[in-house]
Amino acid sequence: MGPVHPESPARLWAINDQLIASRLETVLQHYDAPAATREQLERVHDPAYVSLIFRSSPQEGRIALDPETLMNPYTLRAALHAAGAAVLAVDLVMRAEAGAAFCSVRPPGHHAERRRAMGGCLFNNVAVGAAHAMAARGIERVAIVDFDVHHGNGTEDIFRSEPRVLFCSAFQHPCYPYSGAETKSDHIVNIPLPAGTQSAAYRDAVQNRWLPALASFRPQLVLFSAGFDAHHEDDIGQMGLDETDYFWMTKQVKAIADRHAQGRIVSVLEGGYSLHALGRSVVAHLKALIGSPTA
Ligand SMILES: [Zn+2]
């Protein structure tokens, strides 16, 4: 994304560092992400848009798809593998080869709409995973829980008319991308929250809005759009969460997945730009996913 952009390779190095420091590394199994196929991408993106992304990939230097979304010669490959990670993760949990799977990937995906790259996102990784679960794995109810500090406008755009997907997004508002606060839908549960929202108010919102909606939807698979930029150390937003909130929230949602979805959870990394907070938050999220009693 350019030398000074916060969406940088250092994010994944920071996560790896904390996985080692926390010793979680020893209980995890790693997989290489395959590239998503055109067929998998075109379940959620317009074929003409997918072609545009392939055509736009530069031989050298950088091109801008939008002010926040640049491509260098390696971006297309990374984006294909980021989306493919969500597909593999869905397959792993559906085959019960993994209880839960976390996709440590970039570029992120939840701002990418059906026909538009946006906010650093080319392909909507979590949507590609959800569509794969429905098209190839016979899943009829998928919940996507998006706790990134930014509204998951792309996921909402893609699944606006798809009642098999329950989309839950909590986000700072007003804030980029300035959408989601007005949405009216029986399968989209948006929670716009003012800047400065702290842990207690955030947890209340999750408890009162998301958990009842998730419980009555009875998802057969749960996906997380896991952005950690609502952390109080993250300057990209002005929210007051810390890693214990991510642990708590993951645990609450996991209980619903355990009840209705045989515990099947796929989590896909979105934002999170304060490197140390990002690493610690991912560790807390994964500890909840593997059923650890404490963060
Ligand atoms: Zn974000």
pLDDT digits (tens, 9 = 90+) for 25-42: 999 999 999 999 999 999
Q: Among candidates 280, 283, 210, 198, which has minimal Cα distance to 249? A: 210
Separation of 97 CA from ligand 1 center, angstroms?
30
Phi-psi region of 60 (alpha: psi -120 to 50; beta: other; left: phi over 0): beta
In this predicted structure, what is the pLDDT of residue 210?
A: 98
Tokens of 158: 């893609």
Separation of 232 CA from ligand 1 center, angstroms?
13
Tokens of 254: 């996991």
Give the number of other CB atoms < 10 A from CB of residue 207.
13
CA angle, 60 then 64 then 65, to 5°: 120
Q: Which of 110, 111, 173, 260 is catalytic?
A: 111
Separation of 234 CA from ligand 1 center, angstroms?
10
In this structure, which residues have their CB less than 5 angstroms from ion ligand 1? 148, 150, 227, 229, 271
Separation of 109 CA from ligand 1 center, angstroms?
10
Separation of 245 CA from ligand 1 center, angstroms?
16
| Res 4 pLDDT > 90 | no
Separation of 213 CA from ligand 1 center, angstroms?
23
111 is known as an active-site residue: yes
Model pLDDT for residues 150-206, shown as the tens digit of each residue? 999 999 999 999 999 999 999 999 999 999 999 999 999 999 999 999 999 999 999
Separation of 181 CA from ligand 1 center, angstroms?
16
What is the length of the chain?
295
In this predicted structure, what is the pLDDT of residue 2?
A: 81
In this predicted structure, what is the pLDDT of residue 1?
A: 84
Model pLDDT for residues 56-75, shown as the tens digit of each residue? 999 999 999 998 899 999 99
Please state the pTM of the whole predicted model: 0.98
In this predicted structure, what is the pLDDT of residue 5?
A: 87
Radius of gyration, alpha carbons of the chain: 17
Q: Among candidates 147, 100, 31, which has minimal Cα distance to 292? A: 100
Model pLDDT for residues 205-255, shown as the tens digit of each residue? 999 999 999 999 999 999 999 999 999 999 999 999 999 999 999 999 999
In this predicted structure, what is the pLDDT of residue 107?
A: 98
Separation of 96 CA from ligand 1 center, angstroms?
30
Separation of 151 CA from ligand 1 center, angstroms?
8
Separation of 12 CA from ligand 1 center, angstroms?
15
**Gap between the Cα atoms of 241 and 31, Å rounded:** 30
Q: Which residue has the tokens 């990134």?
A: 148
| Res 8 pLDDT > 90 | yes
